[in-house]
Amino acid sequence: MEWWGAYLAIGLAVGFLAGLLGIGGGMVIVPMLVFVFTAKGFPAEHMMHLALATAMATIVFTSLSSVRAHHRHGAVDWRVARAMAPGIVAGALAASVGASYVPTRPLAIFFTGFMFYAATQMFFEAKPRPSRQLPGAAGLFGAGAAIGGLSSVLAAGGAFLTIPFLAWCNVSLKRAIGTAAANGFPIAAAGTAGYVLNGMRAPNLPEGCLGYVYLPALAIIVAASMPLAPLGARFAHRLPVRRLRVVFALMLYGIALRMLANLW
């Protein structure tokens, strides 16, 4: 527990970002946890699994806190969230089973390409056709399955895919952020279940693990992050939309570049 201060700082940062941008924070947590777990001397063969699983587990809680805050502002489209949820769960579970058969590099190249495209559209405020609308129930199920599958493979909460998709369908940015926060919960729940079950068979895990989830880090990060999510949500609804677009686009660029750097 000598690293509780690091877990506390991670939780504060992630909680604020979860409220501000509707993200679960997994992309932020993973590299930080890898650094901490390396310093603690955790087994190298389990390092990424532990970081990914613990990050995914935190999203279960941060998404709940974030969506409550956005719901109070009337920014969650529950009709869309409910329509996408079954596809999200199906996609996340299927991807958790089949991810080991998909090469990492093609997935990462696709992901970074999509992020650059989405960030550029956000940054330059490229407008979708005024006539473009959300698809029907089957289309939302399919979009949810794709988002859930990719998010599960990449250990992300899904907001970085959900928000550009909803914005592309002429949903307002603030409402897209709130709805993405609601979609983060089923993604995280399905992904965490997979990591816990797969980790039950892994040998030589550190003490304090439930499957691949490292419970001490999870507890402190969640305790620190949940009170900060409502603060981030208040900022999201007070900031101008243009500024939110710039912040979100820059974060997309940063994540895409990090993914690209990890290819080699």
Q: Could you report the per-residue pLDDT of 168-218, keeping only the tens digit for each?
A: 788 887 788 888 878 888 888 887 888 888 888 888 899 899 998 999 999
Structure confidence by residue, pLDDT tens digits, 72-111: 777 788 888 889 989 988 887 777 666 545 554 665 576 6
Tell me the pTM. 0.69
Distance of CA 6 to the CA centre of its chain: 20
Q: What count of other Cβ atoms lies within 10 Å of the Cβ of residue 250?
A: 13
- Cβ contacts of residue 242 below 8 Å, gap of 6+? 125
Domain residue limits, the chain: 4-261
